Chain A
Amino acid sequence: MIKTLAKQIKQFKRASIVTPLFMILEVFCEMAIPYLMASIVDDGINKGNLNHIYNIAGGMVVVALVSLFAGAMGGKFGARASAGFAHNLREAMFYRIQKFSFKEIDKYSTAGLVTRLTTDVTNIQNAYQMILRMLVRSPMSLIAAMVMAFFLNARIALIYLAAVFVLAIILVTIMLLAMKHFRVLFEKYDKMNESVQENVASIRVVKSFVREEYEKKKFNTASNNIYKLAVAAEKVLSFNNPAMVLTTNACILLISWFGAHLVVSNELTTGDLLALLSYCMNILISLMLLSMVFVMITMSSASAKRVAEVLEQESSIVNPENPLMEVKDGSITFKNVSFKYYDDADTYVLNGVDLSIKSGETIGIVGGTGVGKSTFVNLISRFYDVNTGEVIVGGANVKDYDLEVLRNNVSMVLQKNELFTGTIFENLRWGDENATDEECINACKIAQADEFINNFPEGYNTKIEQGGTNVSGGQKQRLCIARALLKKPKILILDDSTSAVDTSTDRKIREGLKNDRPDMTKIIIAQRISSVKEADRIIVIEDDKVTAFATHDELLKINETYASLYEAQTSGGGDFDEAKLNSKGGEE
């Protein structure tokens, strides 16, 4: 994990090495000051030598200036190294994610990826800065002060050594105990937040079942549990400061006692005694800082693990070595294809699919929810790789194509569609960045989007908000279809892409596609039978299998499921679609 992350330091290696060096220089300067002060006391004040005082004081000013320089440089390079490291981590992860296949995107989920790219990187950035500036500095400071103490008086230095030992044990014990508590606490904390989130999202459910009191009680219990856990954790931590104060004070008193004896017996000067007291503080404060750095590193280690996970994730789908750069036509063949999303899953989502689609055909796909309709089409553009069998497009296995070539020729309008911040024109040109205005408008006409776009005050230059929130569901779907058309693909796949479009517009889109792009293979997944009825052939998927593949009329005769679906939808009529989409209801 550390190796993976360290690789991303790259051009900031120099800054990363220089920072601790400057910090060490700062430590040395800091150590010099009590020593010089001792000299002022012993050789200056005690001997009544003012000149000596001025000389040494001059030296102290120089040391302070060097220390200032070292500290400032350490700060500067520390900032650069950590900001740069974060920059590289983000970039490397983003790059890695762009190479992911759908399988990996599913694995990490959108929210998971966003957290890794934002919060986790920030955590690592802070920890890294801490490591560069403090992780070297604190032990150095501790060791240097200890060495100075031994140099001044070994016997008193032994007291420090003992104190460090005792305090270290206390601090480590406290940290370990507290971490254990905090881990449980964080978990509960997440749970509680999750429950708040649920209440915010489901407030209508809560209110319509009149469960406010019930939820309050539930929350108050959870909140009180958090209180108890937090108190338990902090109870341990509350020993931290007293332990520190106790050790420091004990040291000072012991030094005072033994120091006085030593001074009296002329084994120690008064100045050295004062210097020793300063070093005592240095040592114990370094120890305290060190323990804090460790806590911070432990806390960010979870972030580091998550980031490293993404960086180490190999994409399961990569370009072949000598890729085919052209898709001959829009024909599709499935040869005994089986597929499951997780290798360790027991059952297949699709099992032994065998079928052939001719170039230019219009194919409908129907089936219940979760039977693998979307999976079926995802295999055509190789968003996932099959487990067994072959998917052949334009006469060649999809695995032999250059991925970009394949996906530019197999254009898919996904079920969960997204528009991006930018004008309508800019969004459309995702399909073809060199498309002229006429081409864009033409595609929109086919997708029945031209009319409503022209009704916008700024027409095609209307800005789409993030997530496409300023267009309705049906409008969004039509824009996405137009965008897909601009790729001029050999195969167009509409995965339930007109569900929010009313029946007659839906029909017009299908007619437009038929007349304008006769050679393009069209695959339409739909809930509505009316959307696929006129297709050349219709695939019926049930459970994990293709159970029928024929024309509408034939299916009515041979396939019971299809016939009953058709019966259910026509005897009940079509449906009033506009309404379906919009989970929130347009009126809000």
Chain B
Amino acid sequence: MAQPKQVKMGQRGRGPMPKIEHPFRILKRIFGYTFRWYWIHWIFVVICVFASTFSSVQGTMFMKTLIDDYIIPLTEQSSPDYLPLLYAILRVAGFYLIGVVAAFAQARLLMYITQGTLRNLRDELFNKMESLPVRYFDTHAHGDIMSVYTNDIDTLRQMISQSLPMLLSSVVTVVSVLVSMIVLNWLLTLITISMVFVMLFCTAKLSAASGKNFAIQQRSLGSVNGYIEEIMTGQKVVKSFCYEDKAMEEFIKRNDELYVSADKANTFANILMPINAQLGNLSYVLCAIVGGAFAIKGIGSFTLGALASFLTFNKQFAHPINQISMQLNAIMVGLAGGQRIFDLLDQVPETDEGYVTLVNAKMVDGKLTECEERTGMWAWKHFHKADGTTTYVELKGDVEFHDVDFEYEEGHPVLHDIDLYATPGQKIAFVGSTGAGKTTITNLINRFYDIADGKIRYDGININKIKKDDLRHSLGIVLQDTHLFSMSVKENIRYGKLDATDEEVYAAAKLANADAFIKHLPQGYDTILEGDGANLSQGQRQLLAIARAAIADPPVLILDEATSSIDTHTESLVQKGMDKLMKGRTTFVIAHRLSTVKNSDCIIVLEKGRIIERGNHDQLIEKKGRYYHLYTGNTAQS
């Protein structure tokens, strides 16, 4: 079965095949995977392979018996007795039946092995992927990650379900046929083997030539596909600049090159098959002549029946050897796929040494105590190793940064000496130009990235001590680029709180002012979103993202350009909802619109990773510094 739809790949898929390091180690590992889950199945597969090979060898050998022991004697009898022949045929039928059953069992077993292994690998891949740090996704092309799930898994499927068993049965067939041939006649066997060597030589020569041409074809295919992608992406620009003819010209040039290389590469590949087939025929003819001569002269008691059997073996011998050389190619492709799969599986997952957990709490006699039921009150459960005591700190949303430095890549610091205090319920705004480090700061609070130097405290606890999941549970984030999932609107909102009731969903939507437009969707709250919410406008998607954060009801909110794509009019509507949402919560806001920023308790102006100004709106205006310039837009920027 072919891949249903090729998912768009990154550049990687286009170039010639990459070099595989340690092919045997990868092969071993792939075997390891299938054996780990399916070793019993494999044992039976091997048995089946032997059984079906045995059956087919028995069948071929039967020709000799049929002609030498039955037909020829029968022709000499005056009243032929067919009963022994019937018994012989029934016996062979028995062998054949074994062969059929073995073929069926093998197909079934391999099906379970292959599909099961793929499922387990897929699951393992996905589970690993979910555990990887955000950094991994920032540094790897999404197309390449996707391609592991689609193309690479598919190459493994072919390798496990076809190449490996084929290889196994080829080897068994070659050996058993070889033995049978030697039993029949060693000289003819020698002829057969030497012809096979000629075949292998031709295959090697032609494969090398075709491989070289395929590499060239891949390159020109890459050039054509790259151009297609570029022009299709900018097709509207092409039209608005009347650039169609020029684009066509360039395309024709590249397309012509592709045709020439594809023609050559495929020709070499296509010629290989007839050459091998006819070499096989030549080998057949040679054996027929020599064997015929033997049979006539009765050399080495070689009979006509033996010749018939031998000639069939001659064909059976060449076939698996061709198979092996063909499978080797498929195995190389499979190994390359395996390498990429294992690369992903070997990634180091996000580490979490946090031990402070978030628990439901209530006040008992003025003392904070842990409880089972949901109280709406939360506490950090802090176990102190030193003295073995456990303390509870109420979750309030107090965030402090002390001299925080951070770099994404070594030697390229993006944040320097950041000091920050946000007391519960405060609204802190970050402003500054692109690349100033605003988003980075928020990435540090929820520990998408870990700081290089300095300390971040949350309710007085170093965030490195807090369990990541619990830390993130306590933070609500609306990100710069909204991502929604292919499920209903209701489920998308519920993503923030999986056990939310429908009423809670509606309430959250109303809070974000999303309720009005949702009701106008064809199926209202049950409308299924497609392709990251492509059927919604950017503004509507952001409203949903806000509702999603609202339903989670976290004590700390991070709004990263949450309202950037909403027009000013709608924004004022959202703003009302947001104000309600922000009430009583510590909120970090990144925005370019002054209306969003102005009423913040503290505005922090960032430039090149440093805080250059801080204060509330009035103070900063008074100061007539950077904020003032940004605000008024009057003076040229420094």
Contacts and interface: CB of A to CB of B under 8 A. Distances in A.
Given A87-B258, A200-B142, A252-B59, A114 B8 contact: yes
Provide the main secondary structure of the chain B interface: helix
B532 A233 contact: no
Contact of B594 (A270, A417, A466, A575): A575
Contact of B228 (A26, A86, A94, A368): A94
Nearest to B76: A264
B225 interface: yes
A101 B244 CA distance: 12
Interface stretch (B186-194, B271-279, B323-331, B455-463): B271-279
Interface in A95-126: 95, 97-102, 105, 110-111, 113-115, 117-119, 125
A186 B150 CA distance: 12
A97 B232 contact: yes
Contact of B477 (A189, A208, A584): A208
B96 A253 contact: yes
B256 A573 contact: no
Nearest to A117: B228
Contacts of A186: 4-5
Contact of A37 (B8, B112, B288, B472): B288
Contact of A573 (B4, B243, B631): B631
A403 B262 CA distance: 37
A414 interface: yes
Interface string A47-75: 01110011001001100110110111011
Interface stretch (A324-332, A355-363, A509-517, A560-568): A560-568
Interface string A127-152: 00100010000000000000000000
B278 A71 contact: yes
A434 B493 CA distance: 55
A33 interface: yes
Interface in B467-505: 469, 472-473, 475, 477, 479-481, 483-486, 495-496, 498
A71 B281 contact: no
A440 B142 CA distance: 37
Nearest to B467: A210
B456 to A, nearest CB: 16
Contacts of B266: 78-79, 82-83, 129
B161 to A, nearest CB: 9
A214 interface: yes
Contacts, number: 471
A67 B52 CA distance: 32
B485 A202 contact: yes
A117 B255 CA distance: 11
A575 B592 contact: yes
Contacts of A215: 126, 130
B404 interface: no
Given A238-B111, A264-B80, A50 B293 contact: yes
A291 interface: no
Contacts of B107: 234, 237-242
Contacts of B149: 193, 196
Contacts of A158: none
B224 A90 contact: yes
Contacts of A430: 241, 243
Contacts of B225: 117-118
A431 B567 contact: no
Contacts of A197: 7, 142, 146
B523 to A, nearest CB: 17
A260 B66 contact: yes
A411 B7 CA distance: 36
A1 B598 CA distance: 61
Interface in B431-477: 431-440, 446, 448, 469, 472-473, 475, 477
Contacts of B332: none
B334 interface: no
Interface residues on A, range: 35 or more
Nearest to B241: A430
A234 B126 CA distance: 24
B172 to A, nearest CB: 16
Interface string A202-217: 1111111111101110
Interface in A406-423: 407-408, 411-412, 414, 416-418, 420-421
Contacts of B479: 204-205, 208
B235 A97 contact: yes
Nearest to A503: B633
A45 interface: yes
Given A208-B446, A260-B71, A565-B569, A64 B242 contact: no
Interface in B73-94: 74-75, 80, 82, 85-86, 89, 92-93
Contacts of B552: 209
A82 B262 CA distance: 9
B306 to A, nearest CB: 11
A153 interface: no
Contacts of B496: 209
Interface stretch (B115-123, B366-374, B388-396, B507-515): B115-123
B526 interface: no
Contacts of B89: 253, 256-257
Nearest to A241: B103
Contact of A216 (B127, B229, B232, B561): B127
B115 A234 contact: yes
B448 A207 contact: yes
Contacts of A102: 236, 239
B242 A80 contact: no
A123 B232 CA distance: 20
B252 interface: yes
B185 interface: no
A114 B9 CA distance: 12
Contacts of A125: 262
Interface in B513-569: 531-532, 537-539, 548, 552, 560-561, 564-569
Contacts of A226: 119, 122
B1 interface: yes
Contact of B486 (A57, A114, A195, A224): A195
Given A80-B267, A473-B434, A579-B438, A110 B86 contact: no
Given A238-B104, A564-B569, A565-B568, 13 more contacts: A67-B274, A76-B267, A79-B262, A82-B266, A194-B531, A208-B446, A239-B107, A245-B100, A253-B89, A367-B567, A403-B242, A579-B591, A583-B480
6 contacts: A94-B251, A97-B232, A182-B1, A416-B236, A502-B637, A576-B432
Task: Report the 7 A-B pairs with minimum CB-CB distance, sorted nearest first.
Answer: A71-B274, A572-B595, A75-B270, A186-B4, A202-B483, A418-B234, A503-B633
